């Protein structure tokens, strides 16, 4: 394998959390079609499902939702640390640092073997990451963070904490669907990273910090930010065709958010988010960005290059519109991805606990038989 190979066909584990058939655009969580889950389930139900391989009953759901909310507050020391960071710190760097610091305040942080303890830590982290994301948004604007409320869901709490106002129902519904859709996606780069760390016998916080570090990369979690910057660059609906001709047809640029490493047909998540992006656009009166995205996608799908290669909008494409319409800074898009993917990461961490050290082989392609030369003779 070449040095830059991506383990394309390697199978590294048996999993039961999700299944992807990229050829037909299928995604399931624990046997449930993503279309049904996006329509009917909440993010808290998905978290329970990924941990337990079944959906919760009413008492279990209410208990989980309450536990997340009641443990969502972050220590004052973590808030103070966030305030001490330079205001131009990347949001993912701030999140990574804060999650790492949280481990010092978790009394069970160094419990490396108890899966029930790991599950409890994951539930705490789910709420705490939500609070960190909202707090950072306010801190960079010079505003005081808003504490989470014990009566709200993850999505509702985030919308509440970024503004301090009663959360808007349409915004909360769109965000909750986003969290459902991004919660788990097989052995992606960040998930694999969390499993590698866990297999060394390390702790939940370390694995999640490593996952955040992997997700921070623009080839993984940063694509929706790049897509939104692209829409902003286009600027107006009438600019779509000339922009496409100037940059895409000439080969100078690629369309961010179109095409996927796994999906060779429609990404089922993209269509779901497109509907919510349109609903948000209508409710907010901010249709321009949605219309630009739709026109660019239609322009690409009519082009022979995109038709031949089966390139379709992926989840990042329309999630950019959803998050931007929620008035999130573009720098916050990837932290919101982490806010969702904590569910999948945690489930994989728990599954990996007690497993063998992950130690793949590599093909050496460097030189051989070199002779040592003393330093003064080189």
**DSSP for 184-197, written as a single string:** --SS-HHHHHHHHH
pLDDT at residue number 4? 52
Confidence check: pLDDT of 10 > 70: yes
In a domain, 209, yes or no: yes
The residues pairing with 32 across neighbouring beta strands, listed in sequence order, are 29
Taking only the tens place, the pLDDT of each residue in 229-272 is: 999 999 999 999 999 999 999 999 989 989 887 887 788 999 89
Confidence of residue 175 (pLDDT cuts 50, 70, 90): very high
Report yes or no: 327 and 237 within 8 Å, Cβ to Cβ: no
In a domain, 172, yes or no: yes
239, two tokens? 């600019």
User: Distance between terminal CA atoms of the chain?
Assistant: 32
Taking only the tens place, the pLDDT of each residue in 94-147 is: 999 999 999 999 988 888 889 999 999 999 999 999 999 999 999 999 999 999
User: CATH number of the domain that 328 lies in?
Assistant: 1.10.580.10
d(CA 36, CA 305): 32
In a domain, 374, yes or no: no
Domain of 65, in residue numbers: 16-359
The residues pairing with 18 across neighbouring beta strands, listed in sequence order, are 29
Hey, is 72 helix, strand or coil?
Answer: coil
In a domain, 303, yes or no: yes
Counted domains in the chain: 1
Average of per-residue pLDDT values in the chain:
93
Taking only the tens place, the pLDDT of each residue in 187-234 is: 999 999 999 999 999 999 999 999 999 999 888 888 889 999 999 999
pLDDT at residue number 3? 47
376, two tokens? 């003064």
In a domain, 191, yes or no: yes
d(CA 46, CA 122): 13
The residues pairing with 191 across neighbouring beta strands, listed in sequence order, are none
Confidence of residue 5 (pLDDT cuts 50, 70, 90): low
In a domain, 365, yes or no: no
In a domain, 125, yes or no: yes
Pick 262 or 78 by higher pLDDT.
Answer: 78
Confidence check: pLDDT of 2 > 70: no
pLDDT at residue number 23? 87
d(CA 192, CA 141): 34
Which residues contact residue 362 at a Cβ distance below 8 angstroms, ignoring those fewer than 6 apart? 1
In a domain, 10, yes or no: no
Instruction: Quickly count: other Cβ atoms within 10 Å of residue 316's Cβ.
Output: 26
Q: Active-site positions?
A: 260, 316
């Amino acid at each position: 394998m070449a040095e830059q190979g991506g383990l394309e066909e390697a199978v590294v584990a048996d999993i039961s959390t999700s299944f992807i058939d990229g050829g037909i655009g299928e995604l399931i969580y624990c046997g449930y079609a993503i279309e049904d889950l996006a329509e009917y389930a909440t993010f808290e139900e998905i978290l329970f499902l990924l941990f337990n391989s079944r959906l919760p009953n009413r008492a279990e759901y209410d208990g989980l939702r309450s536990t997340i909310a009641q443990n969502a507050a972050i220590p004052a020391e973590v808030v103070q640390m966030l305030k001490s960071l330079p205001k131009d710190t990347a949001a993912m760097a701030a999140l990574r640092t804060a999650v790492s610091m949280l481990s010092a305040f978790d009394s069970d942080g160094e419990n490396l073997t108890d899966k029930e303890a790991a599950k409890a830590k994951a539930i705490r982290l789910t709420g705490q990451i939500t609070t960190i994301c909202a707090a950072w948004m306010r801190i960079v604007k010079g505003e005081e963070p808003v504490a989470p409320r014990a009566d709200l869901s993850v999505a509702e709490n985030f919308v509440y904490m970024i503004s301090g106002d009663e959360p808007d129902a349409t915004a909360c519904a769109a965000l909750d669907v986003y969290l459902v859709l991004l919660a788990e996606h097989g052995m992606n780069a960040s998930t694999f990273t969390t499993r590698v760390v866990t297999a060394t016998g390390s702790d939940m916080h370390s694995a999640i910090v490593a996952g955040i570090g992997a997700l921070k990369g623009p080839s993984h979690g940063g694509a929706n930010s790049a897509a939104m910057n692209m829409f902003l660059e286009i600027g107006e609906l009438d600019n779509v065709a000339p922009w496409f001709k100037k940059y895409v047809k000439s080969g100078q640029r690629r369309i961010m958010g179109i095409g996927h490493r796994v999906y060779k047909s429609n990404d089922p998540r993209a269509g779901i988010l497109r509907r919510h992006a349109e609903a948000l656009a209508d409710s907010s009166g901010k249709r321009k960005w949605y219309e630009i995205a739709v026109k660019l996608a239609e322009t690409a799908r009519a082009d022979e290059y995109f038709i031949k290669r089966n390139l379709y909008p992926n989840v990042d494409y329309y999630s950019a519109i959803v998050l931007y319409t929620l008035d999130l800074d573009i720098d916050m898009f990837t932290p919101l991805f982490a806010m969702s993917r904590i569910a999948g990461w945690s489930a994989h961490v728990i599954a990996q606990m007690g497993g063998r050290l992950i130690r793949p082989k590599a093909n050496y392609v460097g030189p051989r038989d070199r002779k040592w030369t003393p330093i003064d003779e080189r």
